[in-house]
Amino acid sequence: MTEMVRLKIFRAVHFVSTGWFILCVGYVVVLALRQVGLDWWVIVSLSGHWMLTVLLLVSVYLFAIFRGIGSGHSLKAEHPLTSTDYYMVFYDISPFLGALGGALGFLGTDRVSQFAAGVSVGTLLTTFLVWVIVDPAVGFVESMLPASRRCRLGRVAEARALRVEREQQRQRLLAELLARDRQNRCAWERTLQPLAKELAEVLTHDTSDAREAENRVVALGARAWQTGGLDCMRQLHSMTLVECGHKDSGRRTSDYLSAWWDGIGSWRSNEGA
Q: What is the pLDDT of residue 52?
A: 58
Q: What is the pLDDT of residue 271?
A: 61
Q: What is the pLDDT of residue 68?
A: 47
Q: What is the pLDDT of residue 124?
A: 87
21, 127 Cβ separation under 8 angstroms: yes
pLDDT digits (tens, 9 = 90+) for 183-210: 877 888 888 888 888 888 887 776 667 7
User: Measured between alpha carbons, how far is 148 from 154 in angstroms, rounded to an integer?
Assistant: 10
User: Measured between alpha carbons, how far is 183 from 271 in angstroms, rounded to an integer?
Assistant: 23
* Backbone φ, ψ for residue 147 (5° rounding): -65, -40
pLDDT below 70 — which residues of the chain?
1, 33-75, 206-208, 246-255, 269-273
The ranges assigned to domains in the chain are 3-144, 183-260
Overall pTM surpassing 0.85 (yes/no): no
